[in-house]
Each structure stands twice: as C-alpha cells, then as structure tokens.
Amino acid sequence: MIDILPLYRFFTVLQRHPDCSLGIPDYETLLQVIGQDSSYWYDRQKLYRLCKLLWLKPKQNEYFFKTQFDALVMPITQKSETQKSETQLQKEQRPKQTPSLWEKITSFVKQSFQKKSQEPAPATQPKQTTEPKLPTTASSETLLYLNFEEGKATSGSETETIKYKKNFEFVADFVPLDRRSLIQQWRFLQEKQKGVRHKSQINIPKTVRTFAKQGFLVKPVSEKQLQNQVQLITLIDHRGSMLAFKNLALHIARTAQEMAGIKNHIFFFENIPNQYLRGTEQGQYYVYNNSSHSRSQNVERLLEKYPHTPLLIISDAGVARGNYNENRVTATEDFLAKCRQHTLKIAWINPMPEDRWDIPTAFLIRKHVQMFEANAQGLKKAIALWKGKKIYQS
C-alpha cells in the first residue's frame, strides 16, 4: 500500500518557501500521475524527475529542492524498493509446505459435503424424507471462518482480500487556514497608511548587553525600525478548551506579526483576563506576555499607551464546553466595557462553528462584541469593522 504522507510533507515544505508558488492543484496532479502508474513510487529517480517537472519553479533553488526530497521522500522509496524485492525473493524461494492438520480437516469437510450432495436418492422410497439436505457448497459463514487466517472475507461466491493500513502520522502544525489567504486579508489593514519608512534608533537593551559582554562601549547598538505601522493588540485564550485551537490562534497572530506594516502585540490569557487583587492596580485586568504566564501586562495601561488601537480577541467564549458560566459572562462584559473606554475597535474571533454559538455563555457575550468565525471571511469582516464599516451579525 502506497503511503503518500512523505509527499504531503515534502509539498508543505515547498509551499512555505518564499520563492515557491505551489497550490493544491499541483499536489493533486502528482497524485493522479502516481495513481495511474505506481512504478513511480518504487523508482526514486523516476519519482524525483516527476516532482521536479511538476513542482520545481524556474526561480526556485534546486539544491533546496533536492535536499528536502532526499530527507523526506527518499528513505520511504528505498524502503518500498527493499520490501518489493524481499517479497519477490520470498515468493521465488518459498518451499512447498506440507498441509497442516487444520487444512486437512477443512478439505475433508468440503469433500464430504460434495460427495453427499452428489449421491442419488434411493428409488424404493416413495416419500421424501423430512431431514434437511446438506448444501451443495459450504455456506458463507463456513468459508469466512476457514479463510480468516488468510485475510480473506467471502460473501456468496465473491472473495475479497482486505488490506489494512497500519502507518498513521499526526501532523501537529496543520491549520485549516492557508497562510497566503491570511496575508492577503492582513494587507487590507495596511491600506490606510500612506507609507512605511525606516528609522534608525538606539536599541538600549542590546547596547547594555554588549557593554556587559565586552567590558567597554565602542558605540551604541542601533537598528532600523519601521514608522507608520498599524498597531494591533491580540489577546489569545490558549488553555483549557482552547488548547485544541492553540496552533490556529498562533497562526493567525504570527501571520499579522510578519507583515511589514503591522506591529502586532500578542498576549495570552485563560478563559477570561484576571484582575489584580491588591496594590494600586487592584481591580484592573491583566494578561500575560508569554504562554508560560511568567510576565504580566496591565491591559488598561497598554490601551492607554496605544489608544484607538484595533483589539483582536481569539477565544471560544465557552462554546467548546457547552455549559453556562455566569462568572465568565459577567467578567467578560466588565472587561469589554473597560476596553471600550480606550478603543471601540474590538473584534472577537471564535474558532468554533457559528451554528454552535447559541449556548447561553456565547450568546450573552455576543451582545457586547462583534464575533466572527476563524476563517478568511471572518478575518475580512473584523478588519472591515476596524476600518469603520458597519458589519451586521447573522
């Protein structure tokens, strides 16, 4: 059985390359060719030429293409070739085995059924006997039981060989959103900026580290920074029921972070942002700067630093658990009310399907914020909302 997972991994690596412009039709074309002629899979040079013909673009680095093919696809093709040669040798060199005791019994039962069915009825008996006649051939259950060890299943007169695939692989970085479509949507957020300029500025933390490492300061460390960037704040719910959508949320946030004209500030929380319990910041909400929750950030101070900044919240709003949580609804309403004191550009991305948003927790939260699905269309509506367009919820 042909395992196409190495080809899929090879295709995804090429698709992420900046000089490569592969699409799903290119992958499907290769599978169709291999499906018509399976000899490609057992000849690695032939398979490499086919992949090079269909997937290698003129501007792409051939050395990178060959290296990834050797690392991902070549070991599997070698294994297939060795398995094929071994099976052929086993068939040729397999000695004739003597029938086992169980095979002798099954053959004796079949012969007895056939003999009794071929015997004519005696002419002296005028009446038919009430004893049930034995079948001319063995029943389907009998054949199924007898051929079970050979991996065959019999239904009537047809015999079908069942093959089971035992090799499965979990792709951890799979997300239903294409990176290219996300970048295309994030570009709409940059349109209101007249231009992006570079400005040289001293990086104080790097300068201090250089001075501590060398013992003397020759010159401060400067780096180019972008001006006229769109500021964006992203809050990601990444624990509990959102653990299954962690890669999806990070994929959306980091794609915006890669854009030259967007400065995305990513923070994390669990279910709802927490409140300070003591000190001068008591009652104010905070989130975390990293996924390990080791450094916190006051949300109100952050919004005061970047007023009127688009705020993106990625959470399931309790839809995944499906129960009603009054504390979560109350705390979320209070948090959104305090955020509106600094910005009105608030959008909520929910990775759960929209037809499941009717549970009480999510239904009540939707009354206080615009909520969209985690797809390209939902992100497009969120960006349109930030740019001042009116969006109607379904």
pLDDT tens figures, 276-294: 888 888 889 999 999 888 8
| Whole-angstrom distance, CA of residue 72 vs CA of residue 350 | 35
Q: Which of 48-57, 118-127, 213-222 has the lowest mean pLDDT?
A: 118-127
Return the structure tokens found at 78: 């070698």
- In this structure, the strands spanning 230-237 and 262-269 are parallel
The 10s digit of each residue's pLDDT in 204-219 is 888 888 888 888 877 8
Residue 337 has pLDDT above 90, yes or no: yes
190, 262 Cβ separation under 8 angstroms: yes
Digit-coded pLDDT (tens) for 13-45: 887 776 677 888 888 888 888 888 777 777 778
Tally the C-alpha atoms within 13 A of residue 125's C-alpha that lie toward its C-beta: 7
The tokens 């004191």 sit on which residue? 341
pTM recorded for the entire structure: 0.54
Summarize the confidence of residues 244-256 as an average pLDDT.
Answer: 89
- Report the first-to-last Cα separation within the chain, whole angstroms: 47
Instruction: Check: CB of residue 222 under 8 Å from CB of residue 200.
Output: yes
Cα dihedral 319/320/322/327 (nearest 10): -60
Q: How far apart (Å, rounded) are the C-alpha atoms in residues 268 and 253?
A: 11
Domain ranges of the chain: 5-88, 179-193+229-386
Q: Please give the pLDDT value at position 115.
A: 61
Q: Is the pLDDT of residue 257 over 50?
A: yes
CATH of 179-193+229-386, one of 3.40.30, 3.40.50, 1.10.3470, 1.20.120: 3.40.50
How far is it, in rounded angstroms, from Cα 349 to Cα 386?
13
Length of the chain measured in residues:
394
Contact 231, 201 (CB under 8 A): no
Q: What is the pLDDT of residue 4?
A: 64
Lowest mean pLDDT among 81-90, 181-190, 268-277, 359-368: 81-90
Question: How many CB atoms are closer than 10 A to CB 174?
Answer: 11
